[in-house]
A and B are shown apart, each in its own frame.
Chain A
Amino acid sequence: MAQFLQFAFSGITVGAIYGLVALGFTLIYNASEVVNFAQGEFVMLGGMTTVFLTLLGVPLPFAAAAAVVIAVVVGLALHRFAIETARGASPVILIIITIGASIFLRGLAQVVFDKRFHSLPPLFGSEPIRIAEASILPQSLAVLAGACVVVVLLGAFTERTLFGKALIATAANRLAALLVGIDTRRIVGFSFAVSAAIGALAGILITPIALTSYDVGTLLALKGFAAAMLGGIGSAVGAIVGGLIVGLMEAFAAGYVSSAYKDAVAFLVILGVLLARPQGVFGKAKPERV
């Protein structure tokens, strides 16, 4: 039982990060039908920028806040210079553009930062909390709390504010939203900014546990994408749930089956979802008019 619990703790910690990355994917996809494969780079930027600002002497809270702001700026720049300029192109081309952007950001990170691994001090100390013979780090709880706060805030924003409702409208039907006078370009730009902020926050929270370096984004983006597909690429709740499921599956696979195949889990999930239920757990099958 203690083993099961320990695997579960490990799974939900990493699952919360996958969930936040998946949430970023979902937001941008909802607003623009683009799958932004540079999402992982936002997580990397959050962690690395915070580390380097603290190395320059900036106190941790300010460094973290500045890192989020910088990630948002990068997200907006990505939208303005990469996505907007190719506005008329098909979604496939836009996806490839985001892959190119992720490679660019990774290269930039190597030059601006460095190529080594870095850590941050944990928020609440490094003494693990013992629960029924298993232990969980306080930082893992911080990651989970962060994910919950993000989901709640996002939900409140979309339900309670006009701009939030415009976001939902654009996601539901872009043409209709344009027709009622919603500036869909601003909505898409906004979704990039929020995705970048969420990614950066995830990066800052996970670095004390999983370390950060210039290329953590690649694998994270792939696993986050698997999580988003599993949950249903249009659904925010699905993104978080998908992330937790992928994280738990990875941890149980590593613990009960073999640690060598841990990374394969996410890819098997993508294959399974695409073959069996492409709309994911929470997505609705889209009917097409013939």
Chain B
Amino acid sequence: MKPSQVSFGAAGAVALMLIAAPAAAAEVKIGAVLSVTGPASFLGDPEKRTLEMYVEDINAKGGVNGNKLKLIVYDDGGDANNARTFATRLIEEDDVFAMVGGTSTGSTLAMIPAFEEAHTPFISLAGAIQIIDPVRKWVFKTPHTDRMACEKIFADLNRRHLTTIAMISGTDGFGKSMRDQCVAVAPKAGITIAHEESYGPRDSDMTPQLTNIKSTPGVQAVVNPGFSQGPAIVTRNYRQLGIALPFYQSHGVASKEYIDLAGAAAEGVRLPAAALLVADKLNPSDPQKPIVTNYARAYRDKTGKAVSTFGGHAYDGLMILVQAMQRAGALDKAKVRDEIEKTKGYIGTGGVVNMTPTDHMGLDLTAFRMLEIKNGDWTLVVESGS
């Protein structure tokens, strides 16, 4: 070919590409740093599956405002240092638009500064109240706080006319945080904490600590803040020592895995949890019933596993983000952040969400239900009077 023909052909090709390019819609990158493996794996694994499921679903239905979503998942293995590294990678290398992730309190707190600095919306899936108190501009969360868990447990104790408790807490981020919240909230609820013990997240035997609790006079109930397998072992040890007092867990164990690991020892244990776990037992008039039933069914059909509240938090996080993006109309981080803050009346798996500039979680105590484990399954505790 003659040189002039080659250059003409090249110019034509470039022109064609330039014309063709704008027709493709933008791809919106959503980052997710989750603890898929490690001590928080029974929180992070359902979260990952849920996000993948629903991003695929949303894309199949055309995406958000015509834009497809691209989910980028990194596994921090339950280590806050890794989480921080991945957060930086999401921001600097992957250039994410927003983040739905942070399985545990520890990893979330490590990542918050990165997202605040990058002015990127961050919806966390972790429990501690410090994530949204003090309120940070770009940080939101979907799970109920540990303070709400304490308040819900204390309300149940009041109903049962029990006033003196002992606490045995995990030394992980969530366990410590919830323990601090319970200590802060106890006087207002008229609860006295007679004795406290703690255990490491990898401990395999808590009988010494429980023996001390058993021999403390006046204890009427025991509360165990923590998550992962620690509470399961505490529960087994509890029954082994024959402690007959009412036993309360936190929403950190709101998953079938806890019942499987604790076995028969879990019988009679009470805990505050989202309505998701008792979807089929909810009143038909309950506003959450359609959402939780659909999600539970979809999750079970796709993964073959029982539904988990942690997957539910991821579902809520994604939906709140997507609805905010739809309302904002433009791919502008600040506009979407404002819309997230304006979320009102969103009915999710965790409850009904009404956010405000000072409340970046939007749930109240009614979003928590008190559950009791009977015959290896969750049941609703009747909350009036008793």
Contacts and interface: CB of A to CB of B under 8 A. Distances in A.
B100 to A, nearest CB: 21
A259 B211 CA distance: 12
A137 B41 contact: no
16 contacts: A2-B215, A3-B215, A6-B207, A6-B241, A7-B208, A9-B207, A13-B205, A119-B263, A128-B241, A134-B211, A209-B205, A211-B229, A211-B232, A254-B208, A255-B211, A259-B203
Interface in B182-210: 197-200, 202-209
A251 interface: yes
Contacts of A216: 204
Interface in B241-260: 241-242, 257, 260
Given A115-B36, A115-B41, 13 more contacts: A3-B215, A6-B208, A10-B207, A13-B205, A110-B37, A115-B38, A128-B240, A128-B242, A211-B233, A254-B209, A255-B208, A259-B206, A260-B198
A268 interface: no
B53 interface: no
Interface of A: 2-3, 6-7, 9-10, 13-14, 110, 115-117, 119, 126, 128, 130, 134-135, 137, 206, 209-211, 213, 216, 219, 251-252, 254-255, 258-260, 262-263
B208 A251 contact: yes
B263 A126 contact: yes
B241 A259 contact: no
A259 B242 CA distance: 21
Contacts of B42: 116
A258 B171 CA distance: 12
Chain B CB within 10 Å — which of A206, A216, A255, A259 has the most?
A: A259
Given A135-B240, A211-B232, A259-B197, A10 B37 contact: no
B257 A259 contact: no
Interface residues of B, number: 37
Contacts of B38: 115
B202 A219 contact: yes
B208 A260 contact: no
Contacts of B257: 116-117
Complex A-B, nearest 4 residue pairs according to Cβ-Cβ distance, in ascending order: A210-B204, A255-B208, A115-B37, A254-B208
Nearest to A2: B215
B205 A119 contact: no
B211 A262 contact: no
A274 B36 CA distance: 39
B310 to A, nearest CB: 13
B261 interface: yes
Contact of B200 (A13, A116, A252, A263): A263
A116 B215 CA distance: 34
B81 interface: no
B261 A259 contact: no
A260 B200 CA distance: 7
Contacts of A206: 204
Nearest to B208: A255
Contacts of A137: 240
Nearest to B240: A128
B245 to A, nearest CB: 16
